[in-house]
C-alpha cells in the first residue's frame, strides 16, 4: 500500500519535472496537471470498485482507498465472508 501511495504521489511529479526539463516549464506544468488528474480518475475508479457500497458516500483519503484495494485484490481478503458474519440490524430482537 505504501508503494502504491508513493507512486500516486511521485509519478506525476517526476513526469512534470522531466517534461519541464525536456520541453520547458509550461509543458512540465501541463504534464504535471494532466498526470494528477489521471491519478484522481484512477482513485475514483478504485473507490467505486473496491470500497463497499454502504461507504461510498463517506469521504475517503487516497490512502484509505488504496488500503481497500490492497486488502481485497492483492491480499485475498474476502468481502463476502465478513458480510455473512456481521449481524443484520433489521432482524435484531426488540
Q: Parse the chain into domains and list their residue ranges.
A: 2-53+60-75
The answer to whether the CB of 72 falls within 8 A of the CB of 79 is yes
pTM, whole model, 2 decimals? 0.70
The 10s digit of each residue's pLDDT in 1-35 is 888 889 988 999 999 999 999 999 999 999 999 99
Say how many C-beta atoms besides its own lie within 10 A of residue 28's C-beta.
18
Distance CA(66)–CA(4), nearest Å, equals 7
Find where cell 520547458 sits.
Answer: 24
The 10s digit of each residue's pLDDT in 44-68 is 898 888 888 888 788 888 888 888 8
SS3 state of residue 64: helix
Amino acid at each position: 500500500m505504501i508503494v502504491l501511495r508513493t507512486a500516486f504521489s511521485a509519478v506525476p511529479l517526476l513526469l512534470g519535472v522531466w517534461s519541464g526539463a525536456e520541453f520547458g516549464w509550461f509543458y512540465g506544468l501541463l504534464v504535471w496537471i494532466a498526470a494528477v488528474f489521471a491519478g484522481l480518475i484512477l482513485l475514483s475508479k478504485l473507490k467505486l470498485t473496491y470500497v463497499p457500497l454502504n461507504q461510498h458516500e463517506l469521504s475517503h483519503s487516497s490512502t484509505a482507498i488504496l488500503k481497500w484495494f490492497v486488502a481485497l485484490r492483492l491480499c485475498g481478503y474476502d468481502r463476502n465472508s465478513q458480510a455473512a458474519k456481521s449481524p443484520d440490524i433489521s432482524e435484531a430482537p426488540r
